[in-house]
Amino acid sequence: MNILGPLLLGAIAVTLFATWIYALISAIKNERLDSTMRLTWVIVIIFVTGIGALLYLLIAPNRPRPEEQVLDEWNRRQARMRH
C-alpha cells in the first residue's frame, strides 16, 4: 500500500488548519484594527475559511493604525498648505 499520498494530504491539511487558526488569533489580537474591522475579519476568516485567512494575512496586518491615518492626513494637508 502506498502511504505517501495520505501522509502528504494530512500534512497539507494540518498546515492549512494551523494557518487558519493563526489568522483567526491574529485578527482577534490585532491592535491596528478597530473593533468593527476586527469583528469583520473574524467573520470573514470563519465563514470563508482558507481564502478569508489568506486575504487577512495579505491585507490586514499591514494596515496603519487609525491614529497613524489621522497623522498621515494631517501631514499631507500641511504639505499642501506650504506649496
Q: What is the pLDDT of residues 18-54, one digit of tens each?
A: 999 999 999 999 888 889 999 999 999 999 988 999 9
pLDDT given for residue 77 in this prediction: 82
The range of the structural domain enclosing residue 30 comes to 4-82
59 three-class SS: helix
Q: How many CB atoms lie within 10 A of CB 40?
A: 15
Domain count, the chain: 1
pLDDT, mean over the chain: 86
For the beta carbon of residue 28, count every other beta carbon within 10 angstroms: 13
pLDDT, residue 71, reads 72
Burial of 70 per CB tally in 10 Å (0-12, 13-18, 19+): exposed
Q: Is 31 helix (H, G, I), strand (E, B) or coil?
A: coil
pLDDT value at 1 more than 70: no
